[in-house]
Amino acid sequence: MTFDSTTKPFHVSFVCTGNICRSPMAALVFGEHLRSAGLSDRVEVSSAGTGPWHVGESADPRTGAVLADHGYPTEHTAAQLDEHHLSADLLLAMDAGHLRVVRDAVADPNRVRLLRSFDPKADEWAEVPDPYFGGERGFDRVMEMIEASVPGVLDWLRTHLGERRSPDSSGITT
């Protein structure tokens, strides 16, 4: 199926528990990769938490620090999963619990996948663990998992947008 981008942007939404650690990190990283790939005008990116605990708050300071250390934007306001997120064309869950919640809430569960299922080196059911109660290393590890998964999401998205992968001037396929 090729997405018709003449009507509306393709919508990708990332989902975790409180929307202050994993899903905002993934959404901000993915948004930057979309800009670099020249696709940001064709794709809407959002993120949400399954619960209301942090609605309206900024990302966890450790999330912001890791994003900044890697050159990504840090601006984020937490949201709870709602109809806007659930109507996304692709919903990317961070763990099996989120996957179940979101699949149970949508008519087409095939629109919902685990983020790490796009990482070619990870198991299909691999999760992005919650770093909230741990130390800073956990946030670094989450960033590594997200950065390993995003190229696969971009490849999948290009296919659904009808794009072809092409080498850039350095010879690296984007």
Could you list the active site residues?
Answer: 16, 22, 130
**Residue 53 identity (one-letter amino acid):** W
DSSP string, 128-160: ----TTS-HHHHHHHHHHHHHHHHHHHHHHHHH
The long-range contacts involving 72-77, CB below 8 angstroms and separated by at least 24 positions, are 72/28, 72/29, 72/32, 73/28, 73/31, 73/32, 74/28, 76/20, 76/24, 76/27, 76/28, 76/47
Please report, for residues 2, 15, 36, 50, 147, the alpha-carbon distance to residue 25 in angstroms, rounded to integers and kept in the order given: 28, 11, 17, 16, 10
Tokens linked to 46: 């959002």
Would you tell me the crossing angle of helices 61-69 and 22-36 to the nearest 10 degrees?
Answer: 30
